[in-house]
Structure 1
Amino acid sequence: MAKAKYLQVAEEIKERIKAGIYKASTLLPDQETLAKELDVSRLTVKKALDGLERQGLVYKQSGLGTFVASQIPIKGKNDAPANLFMGLKKEIGPDRIKSKILHFSVEFPDEQIQANLELKKNEPIYNIIRLRLLDNEPFVIEHTFMPVKLVPNLDETILKDSVYSYIHKKLHLKFGRAYRRILACKSDKYDQKYLHAKEDDPMLELEQIVWLTNGQPIEYSLSRNRYDRRTYTIVENNRF
């Protein structure tokens, strides 16, 4: 499957940065110039630059344009931007990520899930637990709750592939914003069984609620990984 245009543009700009064509702390060509050169729309260029900014490769200054960021020297091999909406397959690569379904059911939400997803007690949800494998090694356990009414016809084939891709490409829904909380906790039976965590190993947990552009919450999830398998990063930029 061909990459989306904005991802191709982002990859091209990234390669130019790596090659030194666009040097650190210098101004990139404006969006109109890049759009003409790469034969895409200005909106496509903007989307590509937004993605590169979230990765910390470029930064925007109000009234000036987009600059190449200086290299971040403290990056780790398993760093994950904490503010991305793309999902693991797009973040890391579809050939490297596989999913094993540990639990999949349709049920009615308890009071906490009702509050998190703004549902009534008789509105069914999917209750999903997946083990995500990176290069065939246990990587992260994702416990996800989604309203059936917003994500109809979800099945095991989709769960083994990409839920986010299904939501965006098949259901044509767009994410608007997310709340994320990162905390440390102790390992539980799932962590010990599937992530090979020891009883006293610290775990890193990412709790999140994702809303659509119309304000409806579509996902409440908990992602857990062993302390030595993944880290989360945030790149801040003061545009003023």
Structure 2
Amino acid sequence: MIDLYFWPTPNGKKVTILLEEASIPYRIKPLNIVKGEQFDESYLALNPNHRMPTMVDSDPSGGGAAISVFESGAILMYLAEKSGQFWPQSTDKKYAVVQWLIWQMANMGPKIGEYNHFNRLGSEQGDQSYAIRRFDDEANRLYGVLNYALHKHEFVAGAEYSIADMSVIPWAMNWKAHGQDLDVFPHVKRWLELVLSRPGVQRGLDVGKELTVDPNTFTPEEKERFRRLLFNQRAIPVPGGEFDA
């Protein structure tokens, strides 16, 4: 059985999409990042990066002790390899998928995350115009990269639907919130219509809908607590240890 420590963000949803597409039995372990549950010591034992998601497989292939994996891209590779689905293993096709999976992890996710961060900051945090322009340009560039890939292939990594697509779907589907116009990126638009019509994708995106929290509904006090909890984090000391700075 797969236990998935999860909150309904794009990085969590990419994993539930694969679990649903591959018909892998799993249990959701809600990890409320708004309340700071990702910093609990019990969770840090599984994921020292105190981020979500983390997967625990109590029945790994070949037997043995349970296996814990953090980072959504690593989880996708683990589950695709275990199920034998959505990750072709010939060298050329395998690394076509890997390079696009890493592209999403290293580029589309972080840069759009920065766009979201600065775009949502209030004026009381100072002038954010440069940061917003910087990451708006980068978000636009990344949608262009995706559009270029999809003008040559039906799916992100080639002719086959794969974990590369699953990794990108929950980010690209929010193009409007990222300040983009899909009419400028017709190949992304075509691809989104195709992948979002898949029943497994729809089921994966529906997971955790009841957990969704809209920060726009927070009181000023709740917004300040949210900022203190999630922004400007510094190193967490090891148990019994302290940092001087």
Q: Same fold per TM (> 0.5)?
A: no
Which gives a bigger RCO, structure 1 or 2 (Cα 8 Å, sep 6+)? 2
More helix by share: 2
For the aligned pair, the TM-score class normalised by the smaller chain equals under 0.3
TM-score (norm 1): 0.24
More strand by share: 1
TM-score (norm 2): 0.23
